[in-house]
Structure 1
Amino acid sequence: MASNAEKLGRLRVAVEASEAELERLAMVAENAKVGIESAESELAAAIGAHDAFAAQERPALDLANRQTLADNLEQERQRELELRIDLGAAIERVRVEQERAQVLRAQVSEAREAIERSKAAAAAQQRQLVSAKRVLGVLPNLMNAVSESAAAAKFKLHELESARQNQNTELVKLRGETAEIQMKLAGLTQSVHDMELANHEKRLTLANLVTRAHEELGLEQTVLLEEYGPEVAIADEEAEGGSKPFVREEQQKRLKDAERLFEKLGKVNPLALEEFAALEQRHKFLTEQLADLTQTRKDLLQIIEDLDSKMQTIFADAFEDTRKAFETVFPTLFPGGTGSIFLTDPDNLLTTGLEVTVKPAGKRIERLSLLSGGERSLAAVALMVAIFKARPSPFYVMDEVEAALDDANLGRLLQIFEDLRSSSQLIIITHQKRTMEIADALYGVSMRQDGVSAVVGQRLAEKE
């Protein structure tokens, strides 16, 4: 928006300048027209006088005044020629000024169109600015939501990591319990199988006994149950009285305990080992990545430390060379004066500043801000030349560095230029004649009558 406003201001200034130039050209054209009319009237009067003179009878002329008359005639012809030349030049100037006025009118029209386009662009940018402000108004809430989501994600990640560790611990524990339970299950399965076999054998035995009892003793099964059933006490030498009652609850409790233990085994997950292997592999990959990142960070820090050390060494060497060169160059530009440069923070070369102190001859001033404009320029040139001498370059480009210098200081600066040109090429933009005199080649920019710039070059003769 600021750049568009600046462009619009420049266009308005250009339009105003074009209008002023157009008015000036109109005045010049009017003055040229008046001059043309005056020249035409003078030319008509001269032609009339010439015709009147030619129509008169020629008097008898004294041959002694013939040379004088011839000179007068030649002067009149010369005057007539000058008037015709002035008239042609005035006509040409009027034509050129008219063409220039047309060009300026076209430029004014283009400038007005550019102003309209700039206004439209400014309006569009204003709309964009309003839209951007609305976006900026919503952005803090969005950033807060993103921050909250990131914090929640970090917390969730921490919980998931903790859960993963707990799952790994539980998985190891479950593997041990699974092996133990499998052993118990195998034992119980074998026990049940044995019990079923024993039960089947008992049934067969019972059937055989009932058959045998019926065949041998003639007793029925009901009689056997009444006399030898579960309600009948069981002989037990350890029990009191030598017998022990048959307790069905103990047998049923034992059966229920076995069933409950079997249910606790639950369903076995056949993919537990594969899931554990996948998690273990991912954990190994993340551990390797973390180790790689840690080593990379360590390497980058080491590289940064090496670069800082190398930069400090290079800067210290360059500063020392520049300081020595400044102490040598400054007395050349300020005879009898002294100057030096030093670091504001020598212990930290990466963030230190540079302080320049100068003391011209006969002055107690050390700060650059208290020097005159020419002295400040000369001190800056001294520092620049010191840098050139400390770290030479194949060529240097300088833009009016001696503009604020007097003749005496200019002469000292030209000595520095002579010293630099022995090892490097100098390209100097200047308006000083003395600077041009020491150059090997001069290049200037000139504007022709048609308003087109032309570059003029001249190579000077080499000094013997």
Structure 2
Amino acid sequence: EQSINRLSQEHIQHQRGLEKQKELLDKLRYEQQESRVRQQTVTEQLDELAMAPETVLQQMPADADETLWKHKVDDLTSQIERLGTINLSAIEEFQMQSERMKFLNDQHADLSEALDTLTQAINKIDKESRQRFKETFDKINAGLQEKFPKLFGGGQAYLELTEQDVLDAGVNIIARPPGKRNSSIHLLSGGEKALTAVALVFSIFELNPAPFCLLDEVDAPLDDANVGRFSKMVEEMSETVQFLFISHNKATMEIAKQLAGVTMREPGVSRMVAVDIEEAVSLAES
């Protein structure tokens, strides 16, 4: 009986051990099945990526940690979920915006190139304008300094710029007739201003001669001495410029080759009268 009891106890213990082994076996089978499913899933993923498992295993680092990688995957998945709904039209919008950006960049490049060209043209024009203005200014100034003493019988006159930049500067006329110390043309009398203006205009005419010059009673505010010098200069310049002048001064009329006037012999009736000076002189001499 004791042996039977002992054997019964051993049988019960073996039964319990067997049950534990069965449970462990079932657990291993379950884990094996789970591993097969995971293996199949990973194999399918590798097939989609056109990667062989052997290649992946060879390239896998020695310190590979599946748990750490899984945490990273879960973290990235969580971040993707927080991004919200995926905009399926984002690629098309990106392409449209990229094309628009390329168009705008091309436009910007064209405008920048045009701006550079325009800037170069402006600089070239400014440089040429400064050069031509300076040359013209110097020639007119030299002509004024030459003609002013002839018209006034002495004195001096010259031009000066109000600023250093010739493109932004104004021009002042400094005129000093004989016996005066004026610093500006505004301090001159009417006749002196007129004669100074004549000197300036004649200097410009010498620089760029015109076919004819029209003078309207320029000699009106001048005295007899100034009228004589004015008439002499007009007569000298008439060799290159045809002068048409309106005058009531006899001294000025004496230098004209043709006279044309308006007379009213009868009340309310005007007539044009023309006189050829050379013909009139020849008739008078005969």
Question: Given the alignment, which residue of 19, 24, 29 partners 1:236?
Answer: 24
Contact 1:444 / 1:455 at 8 angstroms: preserved in 2? yes
Question: Given the alignment, which residue of 144, 150, 154 partners 1:336?
Answer: 154
Larger % of strand: which? 2
Choose between structure 1 and 2 for higher RCO, CA contacts under 8 A separated by at least 6 residues. 2
Contact 1:440 / 1:461 at 8 angstroms: preserved in 2? yes
Question: Given the alignment, which residue of 358, 370, 388 partners 2:205?
Answer: 388
Most deviating of 454-463 and 321-330: 454-463
Find the counterpart in structure 2 of residue 310 from structure 1.
128
The one-letter code of the counterpart of 2:223 is: D
Q: Distance in 2 between matches of 1:451 and 1:311?
A: 55
Question: Given the alignment, which residue of 346, 367, 376 partners 2:184?
Answer: 367
Q: CA deviation at 1:268?
A: 7.8
Q: CA deviation at 1:316?
A: 0.5
How many percent identity over aligned positions? Answer: 38
Q: Distance in 2 between matches of 1:416 and 1:234?
A: 139
Q: Distance in 2 between matches of 1:405 and 1:453?
A: 29
Post-superposition CA distance 1:28-84 (Å, at most 9, x none): xxxxxxxxxxxxxxxxxxxxxxxxxxxxxxxxxxxxxxxxxxxxxxxxxxxxxxxxx
Post-superposition CA distance 1:381-412 (Å, at most 9, x none): 22222222233222111111110011111000
Q: Distance in 1 between matches of 2:174 and 2:261?
A: 38
Q: Distance in 2 between matches of 1:388 and 1:402?
A: 18
Q: CA deviation at 1:234?
A: 7.3
Closer/same/farther in 2, CA of residues 372 and 294 from structure 1, 3 Å limit: same
Contact 1:403 / 1:432 at 8 angstroms: preserved in 2? yes
Please give the secondary structure, in 2, of the residue aligned with 1:422. Answer: coil
Contact 1:235 / 1:243 at 8 angstroms: preserved in 2? no
Q: Distance in 1 between matches of 2:246 and 2:225?
A: 20
Contact 2:263 / 2:273 at 8 angstroms: preserved in 1? yes
Larger % of helix: which? 1
Q: Distance in 1 between matches of 2:270 and 2:95?
A: 82
Matches within 5 A, 1:281-300: 281-300=99-118
Matches within 5 A, 1:189-208: none
The one-letter code of the counterpart of 1:431 is: H
Please give the secondary structure, in 2, of the residue aligned with 1:355. Answer: strand
The one-letter code of the counterpart of 2:186 is: S
Contact 1:318 / 1:391 at 8 angstroms: preserved in 2? no
Find the counterpart in structure 2 of residue 402 from structure 1.
219
Post-superposition CA distance 1:147-193 (Å, at most 9, x none): xxxxxxxxxxxxxxxxxxxxxxxxxxxxxxxxxxxxxxxxxxxxxxx
Please give the secondary structure, in 1, of the residue aligned with 2:168. Answer: coil
Contact 1:236 / 1:244 at 8 angstroms: preserved in 2? no
Question: Which structure has the bigger radius of gyration?
Answer: 1
Contact 2:140 / 2:203 at 8 angstroms: preserved in 1? yes
Contact 1:341 / 1:355 at 8 angstroms: preserved in 2? yes
Ranges in structure 1 where 5+ consecutive residues have no aligned partner: 1-232, 246-256
How many residues align? The count is 215
Q: CA deviation at 1:348?
A: 0.6
RMSD across aligned positions (CA):
3.6
Contact 2:258 / 2:277 at 8 angstroms: preserved in 1? yes
Q: Distance in 1 between matches of 2:87 and 2:196?
A: 90
What TM-score, normalized to structure 1? 0.41
Find the counterpart in structure 2 of residue 358 from structure 1.
175
Please give the secondary structure, in 1, of the residue aligned with 2:198. Answer: helix
Find the counterpart in structure 1 of residue 144 from structure 2.
326
